[in-house]
Every structure is written in C-alpha cells, then in structure tokens.
Amino acid sequence: MRKLFIVVVFWGIANISFSQTDNRIVLTNIGLDSLKKVVEHHTDFKLFYVEDVNETPRILSVSWNQSNFFANLCNAIEGIGYSLSHRDGILYVLKGIGIMTHLPDQYFSSTEKAQDSIVYSLALSSSKSQEIGSVNKVYTIGDPLTVFSGTRARLSGYIKNQSNGEPIVGAIVSVAETGANVVTDISGFYRISVPLGRTGVKVKELGFVETNVLLEVFGDGVLDIVIKEIVYSLSGVVVSAEASEHKRSTYLGIEKLQISRIKKIPVVFGEADVLKVMLTLPGVKTVGEASGGFNVRGGATDQNLIIFNEGTLYNPTHLFGLFSAFNPDVVSDIELYKSTIPAKYGGRISSVLEVKSRYGNSNKITGSAGIGLLTGKLHLEGPIIKDRTNFIVGARTTYSNWILGLIPQNSGYRDGAANFYDVSAGLNHKVNSSNSFHLYAYYSSDRFSFSRDTTYSYDNLNIATKWRSVLSSRHIMNLSAGYDRYKHQIVETANPLNAFSMGFGLEQYFAKVNFDLIVNDKHSLNYGINGVFFDISPGTYSPNGEESIVSYDSVDKEQGLELAMFISDKWEVSDRFKVDMGIRYGLFSTMKPAKFYQGPEFRLSASYLIEDMLMIKGGINTMRQNIHMLSNTASVSPIDIWKLSDSNIAPQTGWQAALGLYRNIFKNKWELSVEGYYKALNHYLDYKSGAILNMNKHIEEDAVETEGKAYGLELMLKKSMGKLNGWLAYTYSKTMLRESGIKESYEINEGRWYPAVYDKPHDVKLILNYKFTQRYSFSTNLDFSSGRPVTIPISVYYYGGGYRLEYSNRNQYRIPDYFRLDLAFNIEPSHNLTLLTHSIITFGVYNVTGRKNAFSVYYQTNEGRKIQGYMLSIFGAPIPYINYTIKF
Amino acid sequence: MIYRMLRLCSFLFLGLMLTTCIIPFTLNELRGVEATLVIEGDIILQGDTKVYLSLSRSLDGEDVICYVTDAMVWIEGESGDQYAGLLIVEANTPPYFIIDSKALDVSKQYKLCILHNGKQFESDFLSPLKSPEIYSIDYQINDTRTTVEFFVTSYGEENASRYYKWAFREDWEITSKYATNFFFDPISNRILQYTADPHIFYCWNQSESTSIIIAKTDHLDNNTVYRQQLNIINCTSDRISHLYSMELYQMSISKEAYDYWSVLKKNTDEIGGIFSPQPCEMSGNIRCLSDANTKVLGYISAGTITSKRVFISEKDIGIYISFDCPFFNESDFNQPLEPAIPLTNREKFDMGYAVVRVELVDPIEWVPLSCVDCRIRGNKNKPPFWPNDHL
C-alpha cells in the first residue's frame, strides 16, 4: 500500500517536462519503485532493484536529460548506498557493490606536464549501443592549454576489477582510430599511444563487460580504468576477449585460459585442473590419462617450462599425475606458448606454461571452501592495508585414505596410505604509485606408503619475490629473485638388512631482471638478464635403520650456472604489419668438472592483418635447454630424475617454424584458425634397452643421443560468445626420433627413424558449454586420438625355465585409438550479490561411454605356458563426481 | 627394487580407481613371425654342460616348444681346445647336448659354439667365475599363515663377483587322503580286497624353478646375499603336504649377465603398469658369425655351480590345508531324476570314484579316486636320496 502511496506522491509533486529537444526529467524524493516506473516509462531501459526489507525505504532525488542520464542516475543511486549496473538494456540497482566513481590514487606521469595528467576511474559499463556510449563522459587527457609536439600522445594506467580492485592481467586495450592494441602486464598496467583529438579506447577482458571510454587527447596522460565483471554469471561465460586472443600479438601458438573456463571443463573426480585442461587444446598431448607430463607439438615432457608466479615447477602433480598441484581458487589464468616463445623465457625447448595466481581482493576479505570426492580446499584473500597491501592464500588437502580402504584385502596394499597437500600464498604491497613488492610462496607435498614397507614421497617448494618499478612512463623494471626445490625419496623397509632410502634433490636459485621500454610509437623493447644456479643431488642411497647393511652411496652432485641475456623489439611497422624480433644469448657452465656451453637463440614472429577479419602470422624460434629429465617409463613417473648437461651430455637444442592463418567468421562470432609447424630437436636423450637411471653414475653409457623432427597442422574452430560456446580442434602431427650420428652399430632400431612414444597423428578435441539460464549450465568434453606407439613382443621362446618374450623394435606398433566423452552440469543456486555466501555445485561424469581406453598393452605368460596380451586401461568405466564450493 | 615399487603403484591405481582394468587384448598385426634360434646353457666347470637349442614362435603359434637337434655344439677354449657336445634324446625330457666340461680350467676363457642350418653361432669368450658355497636356505611363514617363503643366504668373497643367479629343483612327497583295503575290479565287476600293498598311498612329484632368480651385492658393504627370496608356496600346495625338498644351484655371474637376466625378468614380470619401464629388445652375448643379420637369442655364462639341498616336513611348516574328500554313499549318488535310479558300482567306477570303506552294516562308501590313489596327483618316481623308506 505504501508503494502505491509513494507513486501517488510522486505524480503529485514531481516536476516533469518533456520536449523534443531536451527531455529533462526531475524527480524529487521518490523511492526505487517509483524510479523504476519512471525509467521504464520514459526510456527503453528496464530497471530492476533489490531492496533490503529490513531497512527503511531509501528516498532519492534525481534529474536528467538525454545526455547525462547515466551519470546523474548513477550518482543519485550511489547517494543512497546502492549501485547501478547496466547490461543489455537492463539497469540493475543493487546494494553492497560500491561502484567507484571517485578518483582513486593519483598517478602522474613523470613528464613536465605532470600536473596536467588526468586520472579517472570508470564504474559504469557501457553497452554496445552507440547512444549510450555517447552519453558517457569524455575524459580529457593532457593539458588543453599546452601545445603538444607530435601527433600521438602516450596513455598509460591500470586496468582493475571493479568488484575487488584486483589488477587485470592480459586485458586488451585498443584504440579504435588506429587499431593499435596492447595487453596489460602482470600488474594490470598498460601503455598505448593514442592520436590527438577525440578518440575512443576500448578495454576487453574475458569475463568482463567490454568497456568503451571516450577521450579528448591533448597530450600524454594517465587513465585508470575500472572494468566490471559480468555479474550475472559467476560461472564465467566466455566473452569476446578470447576471440581477440590471436589478434593481440604477433605470437603464434599462444593459448590463454581463464580459471573460470578451466573450472567448467569436466575432469576426473571433478577437480578443476589447470594442467589437464591444456590437453583439450590442439597440439598438446599426453601419453595417457593420469600421466603427469604433457607434450607440446612433438616435444618431450621435460621440454616444457612450467612457471608459477616466478618460480619453476618440476613436478606440479599430485597422486602420480592424477591431479595438477595448483589450487584452482588461487589461480587466475594460464598461458601456454606452444610456438613463439618470448625472448624473456628460456631454458626449455618446447613450450612455456605460465600459471599466474590472483592478486587477491583489495576491498574486503573474501574466500571460498570446497569439497570434492578426494580433496577439500580453502582459500582466503583480502586487504591487510586497504589499497596498499593484500594477500591471497589457498590450501588443499586430500582425505583419499578412505579409498585405500576399498582395496581388496588380499591385494596386500590395505596398509597403504596416501597423502598430499599444497599451499600457495601471495602477498602484494604497493609502496607508492610506481613501486610495488610481491612475495610468492608455494609448497606441495605427496606421500604414499603402499604397504607398511615402502614409503614414497616428493615435494615442490618455491619462494619468489618481485619488485616492480615504473621508472618512467616509458620504462618499467621487473626484478625478481627466488628459490625453487624439487625432491623425492623412496624408503623401503621390507627386509631390515636391506632397508634403504633413496633420494633425489634439485635446487635452483634464480634472479631475473626485465625491462620494458617504449622507444617510440613504433618500437617497444623488452630486455634483461636471467640467471639460474642449479644444485642437483642426483641420487643418494643410504641404509635405513640400524640393522641395515646397505652401504651409503651417492652420485656426485651437479652444479651449474645458467646466464642468459635477451632483448626483443616489438615493432609496429604499420597498423597492419607487426614484427617481434628477439635474441637471447645463453651461457651455461657446470662446476667440477667444468664444462662450458654457449649459444644464441632467435625469436622472430610477425603478423599481418590482410583484412579486418583475416590475419596471417609467421614465426621461427630457436631454443636451448641445459637440463634433462631422465625417464625410461612411458609416462612421467615420480622418480624421474633431472640432470644437467655435462662433458658427456650436450644441451638440447631445437628450432620451430610456424605459420598461422586466423579468420573471424559469422559476424565475428566464430574464429577459425589454422597453424602449421615444423620442429627439429637435437641432443635429446633416449635410453638403451633396460637402462636403469636411478643411482646410475654413468648415465651417458645408458643414454643414447637422439635427434627428432616433428611437424603438424592444427585446425581450430572456436566460438567464444553466446549461450553456446567452446571449440573444436583437429590436429594432424608426427613426431619421429632417431639415434643421431653415424655409427658402426646402433642401439635403437638400427639408427632408423621411429615414432616417439607420444606420437599420436590424429587428434580431435571438442569442448562445448551451453548455458541454459544464469543458474544452469552444461559442459561437455570430447577427446579422440590415435593410439600411441608401443614396443610389444613379437615372438615367444622358452628360456630360464619359463616362456619369455622377444620384443619388437622400439615403438613399432600402436595401441588402439583413444576416445572419451565427459559431461558436467553446473548449478549456481544463489546469484544474489547481497548474500553472504554463494555456492556452486558441479556434478558430472568422466568417460560417459565407459570406453576402456588402453593406456598400455603388455603380454604375460600365464602359469609359464600360454602367452596372453593384456590391455591396461586406467579409467575404464564412467566415473561420476560431485563438487561443492562455497564462496564467501 | 624401484621397479617393484612402481609396480605397486599400478596396483595402487587398481585399488584406487576401482575402475582401472586389465582386459585381454590381441594385436592382429602379429602373425607368422620368423623363428629365431634360442640357445640356453651355461658352461659349467667341474661338471657337465647342458645346451638346449630351440626356436622361438609367433605369439599365436601352437603352444609347443620346438627343440632343435640337427646342430653341432662345442666349447672352444682360448688356446683352441675343443670339447664336443653329444645329443641326448630321452623320453619325457627335452633333447639337449651334453658336453663333458669337467676338465676346463678356471683360469682360462671359453666360448660356446653352435653350427645350425649352415650358420655358425658363437658366444663371447667368457672367464669362468667361481660360485661361493650356499650358506643357508631358510623359510618364513607369513602373518596370515597362508604362504611359506624360501630364502637363500650366501657369503661371497670380497673381491669375487657380486652378481648371482640361482635355479632350483623341487621334490616332494605326497600321500593319499585315505588308505583303503578295497577296490572295484571292473573285470569281475566286484568289490575286492587288496591282497598286497597297492603302493598308492605314498607318491612323489618333481619340478624346476620357472622364474628368474638373480641378486647383486654391488651396492652393499660386503658381498652378502641376505635372504634372497626363492619361491613362495601357498598353504594349499601339495608341496608342503608331507615332505618337501629343494636343491638349490648357485652360480656367480658377470655384471653383463646380470643385466641381461634382469631385463629378461623385467620384460617378463614388470611390464604394462603405469610407470613400468618400456619393454625393450635385448641382445645377448651370442652372435651369428655367418650372417650378421641373423638374430639369435640367449646369454651364456661360464663358471662353477654350488648346490645345497634341504628337507622340510609338513610338521615343521604346519600351514598345509588339505583338499576336501567327501564320502559318497548310495543316497549321495542318487541323481536328481525321478524316480531315482540307483547307480551301479561300475557306473561309479567309470565316473572316477573309488571304494574307500566297506562295512557290514553300512552301505559301501566311495570317494573320488584322487583321495585314495596318490598317483593321480603324483608319480612313483621316488628320488634315490629320499630320507625315508616309503614305497
């Protein structure tokens, strides 16, 4: 009744006037319900509001005309403690979200015109509609009274998330007039040159409302832009940012995935997994499900550099590769460089995978907790000193011991125990507007005992600190240093006299300095120095317990220093043609005995925009790698050891050339891309038959220097927008190895080419998401690939009192093709932003068809007589799962 | 040890996933592989060298071992001395070539040579290795008293080879479950009483080791093989039902031989798990001189053999669980047919039953033949060294 009353009052006292030229509306002392009626009556917008029933209704006064409708309404609504959001013609008035219309920290350029710099933060998301864009404020950049020399000014600033103040990494900032675009760096910082006069800047980022800002440019200036998450979908609908992925740089073979996307993709046991998700991308393969490593474009598993924040991870998996050891609640996004690798990265010859953690909410303390079939996890983030220091910390652990209880009694493994956990933490401190400090720590630990007698453990530790300093508006420095460690140990106590423990440890200390310098409109440089000191304990074998007669043994320590200097130039030859040229010079030396290696690496890529929707890119890069993983098993196993190059083992080298064509089709909604590559590897290590690599003091006697070649074609059709989104990828590829050199006799396949164990020529991947409503969405994942090569027995003979098998040449045969279909269903029951907590329920089925995919085949002589082939499949049945996550 | 651990991992997966499975599988591409000559037989000093020649077969081939007899085999010393082999073909044992190698000198090098199908095969020249005495063979019963495990312990000299290989021969005595005085005579169609001991209560069985047993001590302070596992016998096995004997043969081998056997063992036992090493081709120490492309399988060692025999009776082990021997009387034999037609004794005999008890009042009781005649489960080849007077 009261609502009705207010309406009456409104009609009574409001002064409303309309005219063709100036539709001015003045409202005084009205409630939200009345506002709704007026707005919906006089404009094309719909207005929704949620009023707190426990409060007295808020009264506001507002007036507007066509040109200041948004600004005035926004101000008025804020005045009563509410916020205004706009999307697709609907205005939302919600409580509790502070829309930032105030000016935050002042940023001044270091130029003499510093006082002229104008800082703004924008709260309102603009729509695609031109009318709405035109009502937005025009921001003045530079001093209108000063004459600026030149035709282009430099604009810089930070892109931030409106809801929590976190910097947004990798957002694309583009200038409509010139087509120039840049990507925000790890701190959300961007720099772009803008033409003088009236221009528009557009900010795009996955999961955020696309924001347009109108500028009147008179000179250099600073502009912070606050963009807004697409609120209606906590599930992270993919928006247009991903579609522009290929356009944002000259790089080929670059894949970026946001955590919201990753969380959607069905995985075994429903644990959102940043590593497994990469297997859904073209050009990324693995020898089999549940194996830890991945192979990028024909590279071996040890040729991928995995960087988490600043540190290098050597075995980022839990449970032998079943899960990756990254807490998905802490991760912001992953970026995989399959082809072009920026000059600032080095040390591995196949790919770089960069996993970044989030900065943490800078407005308030928030967090989440979740449980799944195997793990429980928790994360917290928030400010310590508001707007200066914030933290994020996440932990995850397993309670998988119950599963061991299900193992049949007679297996003898019921005494086993499995335990793992990981902790990641980040602390970010802003010293002032141009200096910030970051501290990262990561620890993961796995521990298993299969019986009372055998315990096996491994862990990763990374500590890194980073100092970021904006030296000038043209020059930025990133300085980081840290410590990484990976070690594993096996303890066997079955026989007290032979009880032993065997361990491996790798430590590295690193320091990196990296500068970004904008030389002029056309050139921006990236240069710096990386240094890594490796300290490896390849193996220790020691008695365990007093009775043990095992004698202590160890393989000599290995130490090495790797130094690399790099410089690269991003050159905008024209608006359509861009080139990125880089060179990296690496020096490597081992200590005791000293051996020195050096060599240059070249990174070259170029892009040409043939027409608006069609782009061509090409690139070539050469790489060097001084560390090798020694592995004789099909998949990455937890006891694989790493070895530095030495006088017997030369650094691995490789080069890749690639060409790509990208076309947007169907009104820009679909993106079609084709990339082809050829890659060559040298000094890769394969092993002689039956080589035992642990505690081997003369690896070089068991290793065989191998060369490789890989080539392939990757086709991808991607739809990033709409209710239905996802991608379909087909890859044809070959990876061949052969013993290198000219020899009298060869160890492997008489020196002929043979397929690598991960050579799977045909590969089809399909990821689809369909969003029924804001609450319900559905995801599916389809994976088909050729069977991997195996070495199998070709004949049987009787020897040593039993039937034995004579094996074929290496990787001469293939296991059956792989096929898997997964489904997942996501429910987000509560979307109300005023609620304290939000929950997400995910359930799904992994391997719906229950196909028994072969991981490997082997043959056994049953009771010493009949030879029977067997196929081992790891997930040979549909695996249902459910996950519950609560955010607070 | 590591690989054993890794095999456990795959078992962990078996349990963990409950969905991990192993299913039979055949690859069609593997048909009609050419047979390869397989040469087995170590050069034994102070004894006879036995050389077995056979051919490999394709996986889908018939389950028979094709032995080779049309060959010449001899040992050749570094000084050119030759010791010819003699083909022995006996019933019930595979044909082999025997070479009298008692006179070989432990300080000289020897090689094994084979001429087959016009092609000559030779092993590398081998330095004979002396095996130390076997210190002990002992056994241990597991916690749940379901198996008994046998171990060997040996002390080698410090500067001697630190690699060992074993093989063993088992003999065991079994008894019938019941002794009986009666039997059904199919000729007279009557149940008769034995007039003399039928010798069907005590029998024997023989077997040889089928798995590869090797060990190394190069990682230990002293050259001691401590309780190397030899075999595991289940509590339901006949072997431990009465009296068990094992004769163990020990040989010192070279590191290369150890590596060969360990790969062979790995290829047999430890392939197919998630972290199993990739299986691999192997080359032994035998070459075809006539044609470098001709493959040949096998590894030859040279040395002395030491042996040790132990006897262990059921009373000492005490975990044997006997098989079931239910008594059948007339009513038990009644078929589930209506009306029941009683079986004749002849029919019972033909069905594999034997008379176990005949009493005046009760009906005749029958048991499966294997319960009263041990020859079904064993044989009467009593070893000459057997330490009792059972017949």
Taking an 8 Å cut-off on Cβ atoms, the answer to whether B276 and A492 are in contact is no
Residue B17: which of A604, A86, A290, A348 has the closest Cα?
A: A290
Mode of pairing for the β-strands spanning A90-95 and A46-49? parallel
In order of A173, A212, A230, the CA distances from A227 in angstroms are 12, 10, 10
What 8-state DSSP symbol labels residue A229? B
A746 part of contact set with chain B, CB < 8 Å:
no
- Any CB–CB contact under 8 A between A553 and chain B? yes
A74 to chain B, any CB pair closer than 8 A? The answer is no
CA distance A286 to A277: 12
Q: Annotate A589-632 with three-state secondary structure.
A: EEECCCEEEEEEEEEEEEEEEEECCEEEEEEEEEEEECEEEECC
Q: Which residues of A touch B282 (CB under 8 A)?
A: 689-690, 807
Q: What is the pairing mode between strands A225-227 and A152-161?
A: parallel
Check CB contact of A694 with chain B, cutoff 8 Å. yes
Chain B CB within 8 Å of residue A494 CB: no
- Which amino acid is present at A47? L
The CA distance from A490 to A853, in Å, is 30
Closest among A766, A655, A753, A834 to A297, alpha carbons compared: A655
How far the first Cα of chain A sits from its last, in Å, is 36
Q: What residue of B is the nearest CA neighbor of A415?
A: B12
Give span(s): CATH 2.60.40, chain B: 32-128+273-300
Are B12 and A448 in contact (CB < 8 Å)? yes
- pLDDT value, residue A119: 32
Q: For residue A160, what pLDDT is reported?
A: 78
Q: What is the model's pLDDT at position A126?
A: 31
Q: What is the mean pLDDT of chain B?
A: 84
Report yes or no: B191 and B362 within 8 Å, Cβ to Cβ: no
Report residue B164's pLDDT band, with 50, 70 and 90 as the boundaries: very high
Local structure of B267: helix, strand or coil: helix
A690 closest CB neighbour out of B12, B24, B282: B282
Local structure of residue B323 (DSSP, 8 states): P
End-to-end Cα distance, chain B: 45
Nearest chain A residue (CA) to B94: A798
**Residue B314 exposure: Cα atoms within 13 Å on the Cβ side:** 18
Please give, rounded to a whole number of angstroms, the shortest distance from the CA of B316 to a CA of chain A: 23
Q: Are B6 and A639 in contact (CB under 8 A)?
A: yes
Mutate to test the interface with A, among B18, B38, B56 (most CBs of A within 10 A): B56
Among the partner-chain residues B9, B25, B35, the one whose CB lies closest to the CB of A871 is B25
Interface with chain B: mutation pick from A401, A739, A872, highest number of B CBs within 10 Å: A872
Q: Check CB contact of A554 with chain B, cutoff 8 Å.
A: no
Residues of B in contact with A418 (CB under 8 A): 12, 16
Rounded CA-CA distance A139/A125 in Å is 15
Shortest Cα distance from B213 to chain A (angstroms)? 10
Name every chain B residue with its beta carbon within 8 A of the beta carbon of A871: 22-25
Share of chain A above pLDDT 90, in %: 19
Task: Spell A377-416 as b/e; 16+ CB within 10 A means b.
Answer: bbbbbbbeeeeebbbbbbbbbbebeebbeebeeeeebeeb
* pLDDT for A591: 85
Residue of B nearest to A403 (CA): B16
Residue of chain A with shortest Cα separation from B31: A794
Q: What are the percentages of helix, strand and coil residues in chain B, rounded to 5?
A: 15, 40, 45
Instruction: Say if residue B360's pLDDT is above 50.
Output: yes
Judge: B211–A802 Cβ closer than 8 Å, yes or no: yes
Give the residue on A whose Cα is nearest the Cα of B10: A874
Asked whether the beta carbons of residue A694 and residue B17 sit closer than 8 angstroms, the reply is no
Q: Which residues of chain A does B249 touch, with a Cβ-Cβ cutoff of 8 Å?
A: none
Q: CA A87, CA A75: separation in Å to the nearest integer? A: 18
Among the listed residues A684, A678, A782, A781, the one whose alpha carbon sits nearest the alpha carbon of residue A732: A678
Task: Report all structural domains of chain A as residue ranges with CATH numbers, in order of start.
Answer: 2-95 (3.55.50), 114-248 (2.60.40.1120), 265-887 (2.40.170.20)
Shortest Cα distance from A689 to chain B (angstroms)? 5
| pTM value > 0.80 | no
DSSP state string for A549-587: -BPPEEEPPEEEEEEEEEEEEEEESSSSEEEEEEEEEEE
Q: Find which of B10, B25, B270 to mutate to test the A interface (most A CBs within 10 Å of its CB).
A: B25
Q: What CATH class is the domain B32-128+273-300?
A: mainly beta
Flag if A799 and B298 touch (Cβ within 8 Å).
yes
Measured between beta carbons, which residues in chain A are less than 8 angstroms from residue B58?
Answer: 794-796
Residue with tokens 């009792």, as numbered in its chain: B388
The predicted-structure confidence for B68-85, as pLDDT tens digits, reads as follows 999 999 999 998 899 999
Q: What residue type is B137 in one-letter code?
A: I
8 A C-beta contact, residue A845 and residue A879: yes
Residues sharing a CB contact under 8 Å with residue B78, sequence separation 6 or more, in sequence order: B108, B109, B110, B125
Nearest Cα neighbor of A307 from A268, A266, A342 is A342
Query: B219-255: b or e for each residue (b if 16 or more CB lie within 10 Å)?
Result: ebeebbbbbbebbebebebbbbbbbbbbbbbbbbbbe
Higher pLDDT among residues A318 and B115, named by residue: B115
Q: Which residues, 6+ apart, have CB-to-CB distance to B81 below 8 Å?
A: none
Q: How many CB atoms are closer than 10 A to CB A579?
A: 16
Q: How far apart are CA A406 and CA A399, in angstroms?
A: 13
Residue A660: which of A677, A685, A684, A639 has the closest Cα?
A677
Question: A132-166 pLDDT, tens per residue?
Answer: 233 356 777 776 666 666 777 888 888 877 777 77
A-chain CB neighbours of B211 within 8 Å are 801-802
- Cβ-defined contact of B275 to A638 (cutoff 8 Å): yes
Contact B58 A400 (CB under 8 A): no
Please tell me which of the candidates A416, A490, A877 has its beta carbon nearest to residue B12: A416
Instruction: Give, for B8, the enclosing helix (H) or strand (E).
Output: helix B2-17
Between chains, do A876 and B20 touch, taking CB under 8 Å as contact?
yes
> With an 8 Å Cβ cutoff, are B221 and A551 in contact?
yes
Q: Which of B303, B279, B271, B299 is nearest to B287 (CA)?
A: B299
> SS in 3 state form for A16-69?
ECCCCCCCCEEEEEECHHHHHHHHHHHCCCEEEECCCCCCCCCCEEEEECCCCH
Closest CA–CA distance from residue A627 to any residue of chain B (Å): 22
- A·B CB contacts under 8 A: 248
Mean pLDDT, consecutive 10-residue segments, chain A of 888 residues?
34 36 67 79 76 66 74 76 71 58 35 32 31 49 68 80 74 79 79 82 77 78 75 36 53 78 71 80 80 84 89 84 81 87 90 87 83 83 85 86 54 62 90 87 85 80 92 87 92 82 92 90 90 92 84 88 93 87 93 88 90 86 91 69 88 92 80 92 82 78 87 89 84 91 73 88 90 84 88 83 82 87 82 69 84 75 62 75 80
The verdict on A766 touching B (C-beta cutoff 8 Å) is no
Within 769-808 of A, beta carbons closer than 8 Å to B belong to 790-802, 804-808
Q: Are B165 and B82 in contact (CB under 8 A)?
A: no
- Chain A contact set for B65 (CB, 8 A): 798
Two structure tokens written together for A737: 């190895």
Q: How far is it, in rounded angstroms, from Cα A814 to Cα A589?
A: 41
- Angstrom distance (rounded) from CA A536 to CA A309: 22
Q: Residue A12 has what DSSP assignment?
A: H
Of chain A residues 836-875, which have a CB less than 8 A from chain B? Answer: 852, 854-861, 864-875
Q: List the helix and strand counts (H, then E) for chain A.
A: 8, 56
- The DSSP code for A170 is T
* A790: chain B residues, CB-CB within 8 Å: 278
Show the tokens assigned to A663. 């076309």
Chain B, nearest residue to A808 by Cα: B281
Would you call B58 and A808 a contact, using CB atoms and an 8 Å cutoff? no
3-state secondary structure A449-461: ECCCCEEEEEEEE
pLDDT for A829 = 75
**Nearest Cα residue to B382 out of B184, B121, B204, B171:** B204
Q: Which residue of A has its CA nearest to B213?
A: A800
Report residue A464 as tokens: 């890194």
Q: In chain B, which residues have their Cβ closer than 8 Å to the Cβ of A845?
A: none
A672/A645 Cα distance (integer angstroms): 41
On the CB side of B43, CA atoms within 13 Å amount to 33
A795 vs B275: CB contact, 8 Å cut-off? Answer: no
- Say whether residue A456 is in contact with chain B using an 8 A CB cutoff: yes
Q: Which of B13, B21, B219 sits opposite A553 (nearest CB)?
A: B219
Tokens found for residue A684: 């890769």
| Bond into A593 cis (ω within 30) | yes
| Closest-CA residue of chain B to A290 | B274
How far apart CA B64 and CA A438 sit, in angstroms, is 71
